[in-house]
Amino acid sequence: MNADPAAQRRLLDLQAVDTTLAQLAHRRRSLPELAEIARLEGRLAALSGDLVRLETEVSDLAREERRLELDVEQVRQRAARDQERLNAGRVGSPKELESLQHEVGSLARRQSDLEDQILELMERREEVQGRLDRLRGEVESIGADRDAAAARRDKVWGEIDGEVALNTRAREAIAPDLPTDLLTLYEKLREQSGGVGAALLRGKRCEGCHLELPPSEMARVRAAPAGQVVRCEQCRRILVRTAESGL
Ligand SMILES: [Zn+2]
């Protein structure tokens, strides 16, 4: 392949811009904030199960409390009716009187039992509610950390995107200077060789693979016309000759 020596040198400018773009893309996806956000979101996901469990427990306890309160109310009403009958003195037989007094006594014990159970449930509900409140506080604080990390990520991403836009414009200004076949070869080599398709020959060294060219290779490169595109025998990249090549 042949290409104007100026176009070959321009390829090094394109390579510099492409290397910068690759570094920016790498920086964009390897920000420490991304790992931090993922870690915090993992913790939030883990805690959301506990949150639901405690919320369910609190509402179950509250429902049980209301059920027992209704029971207390029924017992209280029945005891009041019995007491009214006793007070009115309308009870016929002594046997009936004894049975009614017995019932009033057992209703009072039943009410007291139910009230003890309600107190126990309230204590449990308050304890679980306390755990729920602490967990909600923790979730809120992790959420705030996650939001702060996301804000830092967005700020850096904004800066990176600005640099990407500058370099993309630089690339668009360089690419039209290059012949299509040279550009196609460069793109293909860049894809195959870790993002570097064209390298400067500095002294005897290829700056793509950083190896020195053997004397026979140097002789071949020296002999090649300036308009010929030469490749590194070792890494196959386009080897660009400039004043720094010392030929
Ligand atoms: Zn090389």
Mind listing the pLDDT tens digit for each residue in 33-49?
999 999 999 999 999 99
pTM, whole model, 2 decimals? Answer: 0.76
Return the pLDDT at 29. Answer: 97
Kindly compute the dihedral angle of the four CA atoms of residues 185, 11, 209, 245, in this order, to the nearest 10 degrees: 130
Q: What is the 207 CA–ligand 1 centroid distance (Å)?
A: 6
Return the pLDDT at 90. Answer: 78
Residues in the chain with pLDDT values less than 70: none
- Compute φ and ψ for 16, nearest 5 degrees: -65, -45
Q: What is the 198 CA–ligand 1 centroid distance (Å)?
A: 9
Q: What is the 232 CA–ligand 1 centroid distance (Å)?
A: 5
Ion ligand 1, residues whose Cβ is below 5 A away: 206, 208-209, 232, 234-235
Contact 1, 172 (CB under 8 A): no
Q: What is the 27 CA–ligand 1 centroid distance (Å)?
A: 26
Return the pLDDT at 112. Answer: 97
Q: To 5 degrees, how large is the angle CA 56–CA 57–CA 60?
A: 85
